[in-house]
Structure 1
Amino acid sequence: MQTILVTGADGQLGNEMRRVSVNSLNHYIFTDVSDLDITDREAVDFFMKSEGVNVVVNCAAYTNVDKAEDDFAAAALINDKAVENLAIVCREMNAGLIHVSTDYVFQGDKNKAYTEDEPTNPLGAYGRTKLAGELRILESGCQYLIFRTSWLYSMFGVNFVKTMQRITREKHSLKVVSDQVGTPTYAADLAVVIYDAIGEKHYLKHPGIYHFSNEGVCSWYDFAREIATLSGNVCNIQPCHSDEFPSKVKRPDFSVLDKTKVKETFGITVPYWRDSLVKCINELRAKSNAR
C-alpha cells in the first residue's frame, strides 16, 4: 500500500481526486493550506516524513491570471517556491511527484497543437510562475510527472462552466470572446489519468512532461454556447474580440495541447470535450435536483 498526499485538495482537481480514489487500496491524505502550508519547507518535510508519503499529487496553485500581475510575489510563492519545496522533499524521500501545470507556459501564437518539447514563452506572471515551478521539479532530480492542462472545469468551485450557466440563465444577451482558441478539460477526466498513473507508477516508468486536455478544439464563444444549450438556457450569445474586454495580461490566442505523447505512453483514450461537458452538466443538474 502506498501513501498518497494530495495538496490543494479543496480545489477543483483536488475534489475530483477525492472522488476517484474513494475505493482505492492506497492511503490517500487530502490537505489544503489549513492542514499543510506547502510554502513552508520545514512543514512539508515534517509532514511528509512523519506520514511516510510515497507520492505527492500537487493540485495547489495560484490561478488568478489577472491578479497575478499585481501580486507576483504571492503567485510565485505558490506556483514556484512551494513546488520546489515538494520536489526537494520528494527527492530526499525517493517519493514521486505528480504536478499540474498549464497551457499558459506557451505564447499561443501558433496555429497547430503544442507538443511537450516546444519552446515555452509565457505572456504573463501566471504563466511565468507556473513555468518556474516546472523548472524547479526538473532541477530537483525527483521522480516526477508534470501534466500541463487547459481550461479546467468541474462541478466544484468557481469555473467557466458554472459561471456561464448562471449568466446565461440570468441575462438575455451576452458577448464572449471568439479569438482565443483552446480545449476545455473536465477535471474528473484528468483525475482518472493521475489516479491510474499512480497505480501504474508511471512517475518511475515514464517520467516527464505530458499534455492532457480533452479532445477537440473550440473558442470560449463556442464553449459558452454549448454550456447554455446543454443547460437549457436561452441567451443571445454573440462573438466578440478579446480587445473588447481589456485585461492586465494578454492570454494565448491559440493554446491547444497535443496529446499524442500521453495517449501513446499511457495507452489511454481521451474523451471529446463536448462529451465530458455533458457529463459535468448532468452531474450539476442532479446535484441541484437533490437539494
Structure 2
Amino acid sequence: MQPDAVPTLLVTGSSGQVGFELRRSLAPLGQVVALDRNACDLSRPDDIRRVVREYRPDVIVNPAAYTAVDKAETEAELAYAINGTAAGVFAEEAKALGCLLVHYSTDYVFDGTKERAYVEADPVNPQSIYGKSKLAGEQAIAAVCGRALILRTCWVAGAHGSNFAKTILRLGKERDSLRVIADQFGAPTTASLIADVTAQIVARQWLFGDRQSFASGTYHLAAGGETTWHAYATEVLRYAKGRGVELKADANCIEAIPTPAYPLPASRPANSRLDTTLLRKTFDIHLPDWKQGVHFLLDQILP
C-alpha cells in the first residue's frame, strides 16, 4: 500500500451482529465496503471472486456465516458452502491480491469434553454440522497458506440482531418463570468487543505495522471469565431490573436445568471456554470480563 493511499476494507455479512459492529470499528481505518447477502452471496463462489476483484481490498473481513445451528442439521450442503467453501475462496483471492483475510470461527469446532479452557492447539472434534462446516472453513483457509487471521469466538451477542440476551429480556417480560440450561460453560462475548479487537489488530499489525512480521494463524477471542447460560440469564434480568425494566420473571424466577431437559437437534459443547492467552500476548490485547460486556450491551438496548 502506498503511504498516502486510503486502505480499502471489505466486510461481509454487514447486517449481522459482528458485521454491523465492524462497520463502526473499521471506519476510522479507511474506506469500508460493507456487503450484505444481496451484494455477495457466500453460497456462490463466483460472487465472492467478483466482489474481491472489483474492490481489490487491503483487508477482507469475513464475519458472514451460516449460523442456524439446528437448521444446519438438515441443510448441510448450504452450511458447508457458506462456512467451508466460501472461506477457502476468500483465502485464494486474498492470497492473489496479497491482502489480509480475517475470518471468524467458533467454539463448536471442539466437542466440549475438556475440563479446562480450550487452547488453539487442542484437538478439534465438532459434534454438529455447524461445527463441522466451520472447521471446514478453517481447514480451507489453512490449505491456501496466505496471510490470514482466524478468530474463534463463543456466545456472541450484539445490540444489533437476535441473541440470547435479547431473548431472555423478552421472556422475562412475558413469562412468570424461565428454565435455562446450567451445565454448559462459556463466556458471553459482545459483537462490539470482537469488532474492536479486530480493528486494533488490523491497524497495528497490518495497515500501519510491519506486514512481513504479521502473526498469521488461529487465535481464541472471548471475553474474560466464565459462566453458564443460567447464570448469564440471571445477570441479564438482574441488571435489567436494576435499570427499572418491568419484568414478570426476575432473576429469582429462573430454574436451572440440565442439557437433556432441553433437547435440540444439534449438539452443543458442554465446555465452550476458550483460553485467550495467545491472542492477548501476541497482540497486546486486553479482554474485559464478560459481565462488563453484557452490561454495556444491555445499556445499548434497554430504554
TM-score by length of 2: 0.91
Quote how far apart the aligned CAs of 1:268 are: 1.1
* Equivalent in the alignment of 2:234: 225
* Equivalent in the alignment of 1:64: 68
Residue type matched to 1:60 in 2?
Answer: A
* Equivalent in the alignment of 2:122: 118
* Equivalent in the alignment of 1:248: 265
* Equivalent in the alignment of 1:147: 151
* Equivalent in the alignment of 2:279: 262
Quote how far apart the aligned CAs of 1:19 are: 1.9
Q: Deviations over 1:141-163 (max 9, x none)?
A: 22100000000001111100101
Q: Deviations over 1:28-61 (max 9, x none)?
A: 1000110112333333223222212111000110
Equivalent pairs counted in the alignment come to 285
Q: What is the aligned-residue RMSD (CA, Å)? A: 1.2
* Equivalent in the alignment of 1:13: 18
**Is the contact made by 1:5 and 1:28 (CA closer than 8 Å) also made in structure 2?**
yes
State the alpha-carbon separation in 2 of the partners of residues 216 and 126 from structure 1: 25
**Is the contact made by 1:40 and 1:85 (CA closer than 8 Å) also made in structure 2?**
no
Deviates more, 1:242-251 or 1:5-14: 242-251
* Equivalent in the alignment of 2:191: 187
TM-aligned CA distance change 1:128 to 1:230, over 3 Å = same
State the alpha-carbon separation in 2 of the partners of residues 5 and 191 from structure 1: 14
- Counterpart selection for 2:30 from 21, 26, 37: 26
Residue type matched to 1:81 in 2?
Answer: T
Quote how far apart the aligned CAs of 1:80 are: 0.5
* Equivalent in the alignment of 1:213: 222
Quote how far apart the aligned CAs of 1:196 are: 1.2
Quote how far apart the aligned CAs of 1:250 are: 1.9
**Is the contact made by 2:13 and 2:36 (CA closer than 8 Å) also made in structure 1?**
yes
**Is the contact made by 2:222 and 2:276 (CA closer than 8 Å) also made in structure 1?**
yes
Secondary structure, counterpart of 1:21 in structure 2? helix
- Counterpart selection for 2:55 from 48, 51, 54: 51
State the alpha-carbon separation in 2 of the partners of residues 226 and 261 from structure 1: 29
State the alpha-carbon separation in 2 of the partners of residues 147 and 17 from structure 1: 14
Segments of 5+ residues of structure 1 without an aligned counterpart are none
- Counterpart selection for 1:197 from 197, 201, 204: 201
State the alpha-carbon separation in 2 of the partners of residues 25 and 135 from structure 1: 29
Deviates more, 1:51-60 or 1:32-41: 32-41
1:82 aligns with 2:86: yes
- Counterpart selection for 1:238 from 247, 255, 264: 255
* Equivalent in the alignment of 1:96: 100
TM-score by length of 1: 0.95
* Equivalent in the alignment of 1:280: 297
State the alpha-carbon separation in 2 of the partners of residues 249 and 33 from structure 1: 25
* Equivalent in the alignment of 1:40: 44
Segments of 5+ residues of structure 2 without an aligned counterpart are 1-5, 242-246
State the alpha-carbon separation in 1 of the partners of residues 296 and 95 from structure 2: 38
State the alpha-carbon separation in 2 of the partners of residues 175 and 113 from structure 1: 26
* Equivalent in the alignment of 2:3: none
**Is the contact made by 2:187 and 2:225 (CA closer than 8 Å) also made in structure 1?**
yes
